[in-house]
């Protein structure tokens, strides 16, 4: 692929050792010319077109060096759950800044950011949330992901990058609890969303979409075709018979975040 065009070229994945990173890695390595894998955890190349780098997102020099020659970055690295705010700011926010800054300096045409549904977890379950609704973070992790989106918007507006943020749902092999009937993101659909985000022809600007399977009970709007050309195929409802409590209707006034919205979920990460 020539730089700036759609198609299989050189794709980098940060957080490649993580749960989503590992799944997307296996799917993409047969489709791209070269796959550059970055993580703090040492990895080994498994195919001839894989290159691996043990890199900390907080080391901007090493990060930029690893991204030389890349056509698109899928930024999955970071803390993926509630944690003390200083840690989240360091890893999620500053780490994302380093990725975007490397993309600016190296003229990488497309950056895909791993956002989270938790940036808007306080909307009630009766509300069909879309990416244009104001953020309502359900915790400190959600705050850090709201800042990630803001950085993506800044780099698109100020420096002309093409940035797409995926608000990722509950990534699981199969849904296992009632909330997942609304929030599940299957591995197959995670691959589909990431592939579509990476291969769409880059255009300057910022887009945020929800990455969630086609769940009948979902809380969130699926992306319009002009935002992202992927239609999810899996539905958590197919697993409902195996989930205890699936037959109990959701409280329409309860927060979409479920237990993540409870004070105690965040209090344990605050000073006593």
pLDDT digits (tens, 9 = 90+) for 33-81: 999 999 999 999 999 999 999 999 999 999 999 999 999 999 999 999 9
pLDDT of residue 4: 37
Q: What is the pLDDT of residue 88?
A: 98
Q: What angle do CA 202, 187, 191 make, to 5 degrees?
A: 20
pLDDT in tens, 156-170: 999 999 999 999 999
Q: Flag whether pLDDT at 225 surpasses 90.
A: yes
pTM: 0.95
Listed residue (169, 196, 223) closest to 74, CA to CA = 196
Domain ranges of the chain: 10-267
| Catalytic residue positions, numbered | 141
Cα–Cα dist 10/6, whole Å:
11
For residues 249-272, give the mean pLDDT. 96
Res 8: pLDDT: 59
CATH 3.40.50.2300 is right for the domain spanning 10-267? no
Sign of the CA dihedral with 196 first, then 197, 201, and 205 last = positive
Write out pLDDT tens, residues 110-155: 999 999 999 999 999 999 999 999 999 999 999 999 999 999 999 9
Tokens of 103: 């993309």
pLDDT for 158: 98
User: In the predicted model, is pLDDT for residue 195 greater than 50?
Assistant: yes
Mean pLDDT across the chain: 96
Give pLDDT tens digits for 68-109: 999 999 999 999 999 999 999 999 999 999 999 999 999 999
């Amino acid at each position: 692929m020539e730089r700036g065009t759609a198609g299989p070229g050189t794709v980098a994945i940060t957080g490649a050792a993580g749960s989503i990173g590992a799944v997307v890695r296996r799917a993409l390595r047969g489709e791209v010319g070269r796959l550059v894998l970055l993580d703090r955890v040492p990895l080994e190349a498994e195919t001839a077109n894989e290159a691996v780098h043990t890199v900390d997102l907080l080391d901007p020099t090493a990060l930029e060096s690893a991204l030389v020659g890349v056509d698109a970055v899928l930024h999955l690295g970071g803390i993926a759950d509630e944690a003390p705010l200083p840690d989240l700011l360091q890893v999620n926010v500053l780490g994302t800044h380093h990725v975007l800054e490397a993309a600016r300096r190296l003229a990488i045409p497309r950056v895909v950011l791993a956002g989270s549904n938790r940036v808007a977890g306080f909307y009630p379950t009766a509300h069909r949330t879309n990416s244009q609704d104001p953020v309502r973070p359900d915790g400190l992790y959600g705050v850090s992901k709201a800042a990630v989106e803001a950085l993506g918007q800044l780099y698109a507006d100020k420096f002309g990058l093409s940035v797409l943020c995926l608000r990722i749902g509950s990534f699981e092999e199969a849904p296992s609890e009632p909330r997942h009937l609304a929030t599940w993101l299957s591995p197959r659909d995670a691959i589909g969303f990431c592939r579509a985000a990476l291969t769409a022809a880059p255009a300057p600007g910022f887009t945020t979409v929800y990455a969630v399977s086609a769940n009948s009970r979902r809380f969130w709007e699926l992306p319009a075709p002009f935002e992202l050309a992927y239609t999810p195929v899996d539905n958590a409802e197919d697993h409902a018979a195996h989930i205890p409590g699936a037959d109990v209707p959701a409280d329409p006034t309860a927060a979409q975040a479920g237990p993540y919205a409870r004070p105690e979920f965040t209090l344990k990460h605050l000073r006593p």
